[in-house]
Amino acid sequence: MVEIPEGVTQIENNIFGDDIEPNKTVTKIIMPDSVTDIEMDAFSYCEKLTEIIFSKNLKNLSLDLRGCTSLKEVSIPDSVTSIGYFHREKNLTEIYIGSNLIEVDESVFCFISDDTVEAEEDETTYNEAIQKDRNDTIAVLSQNPSYRIIDGFMVNKNTKTALFRTDFNKSELRIPDIVETIGSHCMSERCLFGTKDVFLEKLIIPWFGESEKLIKKIFTSYEHECEAAEKKGVPMPILLFNEADALIAKRKDSSAGNCAQTENAIQNIILEELENLKGIFIATTNLASNMDSAFERRFLFKIKFENPSTEAKTSIWMNKLSWLDKNSAIDFAQAYDFSGGQIDNIVRKIALDEVISGERPAISEIHEMCRCEKLENPNGLKRVGFSL
């Protein structure tokens, strides 16, 4: 038996054994509640391991239990909200899940394939292999009454979250009434729709007339893909213009020069194509107020994503910084109107500061990082440059 001492926060890869030197002695591993991070291969190749007692403060979990051929049962604590990877040997059949998952991949609890299985999978389609992994995951989750399939989605009734899609035979999807949150894996490429991403920087080239041809070619290609999807009876692909500010902005005065004429010509092509588009078109922008009125009319839905609520920001702070107490998290959420990305920036600064100084920054120092996050400070002054 191995009992990890209190105060340890991370368990690193292959600390007990690996494929070259498997561990043949450890039968039980007990973690203290101070552990908040376990690397994926931490317990791989522990051949005699029969029991793992996890920390009650884990939030994210990804494990590859390759080589753990004696492990038959695992209990994942209620604190875990996200499972990204949990591959297991055939003997591990009993997995008990907490009731607070909000993010889990559809094939997370698949079995590790040996050579025989891989040979068999050569004769099956990719979709059949995915469906097998999905069924394994559904079987694990269904052991907990909080997880049920509703209207073609695996739903956590406790967190009111749709985790992933389970039924691919329906041509129309309906989000269950109980659901308040749609998990990220519901929108993965193989779960709902294929996505055709357009990189705008590759469309604007110096040769006269070529940019217009490329724009037209994108829509022609997309039209063909939609026709193919319709014939196959699969969902329509999505045409995504990410950071589309340059293409949907207000048109310029053509007398301003040749560049303005070219940009207007490109926009006119897009407007004409959108008028007759039979698929799904999504454009993203941080400058919605700069959108040309003609584009605004052609978008059926306009969705503005506001900054998270105070409650949501509190949860984000506590999820990103597991050592942060709730009162401090509430203080940060109330004091700074940050987006999730801006909170991520602060978390990275904290990590850098800890690496450089060897100590975790004080709460007052984190407040200073937050105040410096935006170029314009509350007192109206604007910062120039940066500081370490």
231 with 333, same domain: the answer is no
Residue 77 resides in a domain = yes
Q: Determine, yes or no, domain membership for 380.
A: no
Q: In this structure, what token pair is assigned to residue 36?
A: 């908040």
User: What pLDDT is recorded for position 212?
Assistant: 80
DSSP string, 225-244: HHHHHHHHT-PPPEEEETT-
Residue 113: domain span: 2-187
Q: Are residues 152 and 252 in the same domain?
A: no
| CB distance 66 to 89 below 8 Å | yes
Residue 167 and residue 76 share a domain: yes
My answer on whether 121 and 50 are in the same domain is yes
Q: Which residues contact 239 (CB under 8 A, 6 or more apart)?
A: 196, 198, 218, 219, 222, 277, 279, 280, 281, 282
240 and 334 in a common domain: no
- CATH code (residue 228): 3.40.50.300
Listed residues 155, 187, 219: the one ending a domain: 187
Q: How many residues does the chain have?
A: 388
Please indicate, yes or no, whether residues 166 and 114 belong to a single structural domain of this protein: yes
Per-residue pLDDT of the chain (388 residues; tens, 9 = 90+): 999 999 999 998 888 988 899 999 999 999 999 999 998 899 999 999 999 999 999 999 989 999 999 999 999 999 999 998 898 999 999 999 999 999 888 888 888 864 334 434 444 455 677 778 889 999 999 989 999 999 889 999 999 999 988 876 665 667 888 888 887 677 554 444 555 555 555 555 555 567 788 888 888 888 888 888 788 777 778 888 877 877 787 877 766 566 777 778 888 888 999 988 888 999 888 887 888 888 888 888 888 888 889 999 999 999 889 899 999 999 999 999 998 889 999 999 999 999 899 899 999 999 999 998 877 655 545 555 555 4
The domain total for the chain is 3
pLDDT for 262: 74
Does the predicted model carry a pTM greater than 0.85? no
- Residue 289 sits in the same domain as residue 322: no
Q: Is there a single domain that holds both residue 255 and residue 343?
A: no
One domain, residues 288 and 237: yes
The answer on 271 and 172 residing in a single domain is no
How far apart (Å, rounded) are the C-alpha atoms in residues 167 and 150?
A: 10
Question: Final residue of a domain: which of 187, 207, 227?
Answer: 187
